[in-house]
Amino acid sequence: MTKKTVNYPLYVYILDLDDTLYKEIDFVHSAFCHIDRLLVADYGLPAGEGRRVMLEAMMNDKNPFDELDARLRMSGIEIPNAIGWMVDEYRYHIPQIYLSDDAYDFVCELDRREIEMFIITDGRSVTQRNKIRALGLDEFIPPENIFISEDVGKEKVSGVAFKKIMERYEEDDLLYAARFIFVGDNPRKDFLVGNTFDYPTVMLVDDGDNIHRQNVRVPSGYRPRFKVKTLSSIITKMDKGAFA
């Protein structure tokens, strides 16, 4: 097959979701508020009480649902399979979360330049897709470009999702020109695959609100090659040739 004429490199962005394109703690707060509202409406718990119990539990490294279940029992509120109900409401509620200005500007600029974007994220399909829709990312990234571990059957560190992306470019005879850029936040799993294939890996530095901390000891192959404080600065690095 004759190769198509493409300006090299053909940039492609592989994006993490949680704590990269939005703050995962915002999802947690959204879920706690959702559960709190249901408890107020259906069981008469004082407004804000459920949320307060769950937040205090989380800050004290306790299980929020166990602590809330105990609080409900003390109040004489019996919910069949209460913890299972809480977990389901947490996972499957429609979250009230938003892209930061930085994240919005970043994806808008990639979209303006017609740079293809993919999301590879670990988690449950319904939960992650609810987040993506709530953030408005489905306006920029089509469903076939979203890979969720529950759907794929393997977590991101396996490399399975990325290999599926590579296969698409290989089918279109564009793999020779593609320069995949991996953007994430978690050294435990976001950069290993990109490093393995010798592509640029970029970590958005934790501003103090991340769920998963970055000051963890990992083998060198797990560490990002670049660190940035804003997503928008990735565009600047790309324009200066850092990823070529």
Please state, rounded to an integer, the average pLDDT across all residues of the chain.
95
| Whether 96 contacts 134, CB under 8 Å | yes
> What single-letter DSSP state applies at residue 46?
P
Report the pLDDT value the prediction gives residue 4, as an integer from 0 to 100: 52
Tokens of 139: 């306006």
Report the alpha-carbon distance of residue 132 to residue 209 in Å, rounded. 20
- Helix locations, the chain, DSSP H: 24-43, 49-59, 64-74, 82-92, 101-112, 125-135, 149-152, 160-171, 192-196, 232-239
Q: What would the pLDDT profile of 176-187 be if each residue is shown by its tens digit? A: 999 999 999 999
pLDDT tens over the chain, length 244 residues: 344 556 678 999 999 999 999 999 999 999 999 999 999 999 999 999 999 999 999 999 999 999 999 999 999 999 999 999 999 999 999 999 999 999 999 999 999 999 999 999 999 999 999 999 999 999 999 999 999 999 999 999 999 999 999 999 999 999 999 999 999 999 999 999 999 999 999 999 999 999 999 999 999 999 999 999 999 999 999 999 999 8
With 0-12 CB in 10 A as exposed, 13-18 as middle and 19+ as buried, what is 91?
middle
Q: What would the pLDDT profile of 105-138 be if each residue is shown by its tens digit? A: 999 999 999 999 999 999 999 999 999 999 999 9
